[in-house]
Amino acid sequence: MKIYFSLFLLPLLILACTTSPTGRNQLLLMGNRQMSDMGDQSFEQMQKEVPISRNSKDNRYVRCITDRLLSAIGENPRSWKVRIFQDKSLNAFALPGKNIGVHTGMLNFAQSQHQLAAVIGHEIGHVLANHGNERVSQALVTQLGLQATEVALGSERSEKNNLILAGLGLGAQFGVLLPFSRKHESEADLLGLEYMSKAGFNPRGAVELWQNMASNSKGSPPEILSTHPANSTRIRNLSRHLSKYTPIYQATPNKPQCLR
C-alpha cells in the first residue's frame, strides 16, 4: 500500500517543482494557506509561552527597520506581524503567514540599524523564498522513502535490516536535510543583502554582523554537522556580493534613520 501511495505521489512531486527567487529549483508540496495557518498557529503559541517586550522605544526601532525593508520590496508592512520576545538568545525568526520575531538578545547584540536590518532581511527572505514549505516537503519525501524501504525489506526485521534502515536514516539526515538547510541559510543571506540595500541600509552591516558573531562564537559544531553555514563561510559569501549591492544602497534616496 505504501509503495502504491508513493507511485501515486510521483506525478505530484513533478508538478510541485518550482524555482526560488534566486532561480534555485524547489519542491513545494504544501499549499500557501496550509503553511500560513501553520506559521500563524506557531506564532500565537510562542506569544503565549515567551514574554513579549512592551518597550515602546525598542518596538519603534524594530518596526522602523522592518517597515523600511518590506516597503522596499513591495510588501505591505501592515500585513506583517512583528514582535520582540524577551529572550537572551541571539536569535530572530520569521514564519509563514508573515510573522516576524526578534529576541531581545539579538536586538542588544546588533550594533547598528544596518546590522539588525541584515538579520530581519534574512528572516524575511526565508518566508518569501518559501523555505518553510520546502523543508516540510523535503521531510515528507524523506519519510515516504524510508517507509517504502521498510516494505521492500519485508516484515522480518533482522538485525541486518535494522542496520540498513539506520544507515538510510543517517544518510537522509546528513546527506539531504542538513546540507539543504545550509543552502536555505545562504540563500536567505543573499536575499537579505538585496532587501537591505534596496531599503537604504548599508550591506556592509551584514558582514560586520557575522564578524561579530564569529568573535562571539565558542565551540560551534563543524559546518558539516550544522544546519547553518560556518561564520567564515557566511562572511566570505556576503563579502563577495558587496560590490553588487553597495551601488544599490548608495543610489537609494532618503536613507533610513531608525534610532534606538
Mind telling me the catalytic residues? 123
- Give the residue carrying C-alpha cell 518569501: 128
How far apart, in whole angstroms, are the C-alpha atoms of residue 250 and residue 144? Answer: 49
Could you say which DSSP state residue 256 is in?
A: -
Would you put residue 10 in left (φ > 0), alpha (ψ -120 to 50) or beta?
Answer: alpha
Residue ranges in the chain assigned as alpha helix (H): 2-15, 32-49, 56-72, 104-109, 113-128, 131-153, 159-172, 178-198, 204-216, 231-240, 242-251
Find the helix packing angle between 131-153 and 159-172, rounded to 10°.
160
**Nearest Cα residue to 26 out of 104, 128, 111, 153:** 128
Helix (H, G, I), strand (E, B) or coil at 92: strand
Q: What are phi and psi of 245, to 5 degrees?
A: -100, -20
Exposure class string for 127-165: b at 16+ Cβ within 10 A, else e: bbbbbbbbbbbbeebbebeeeeebeeeeeeeeeebeeee
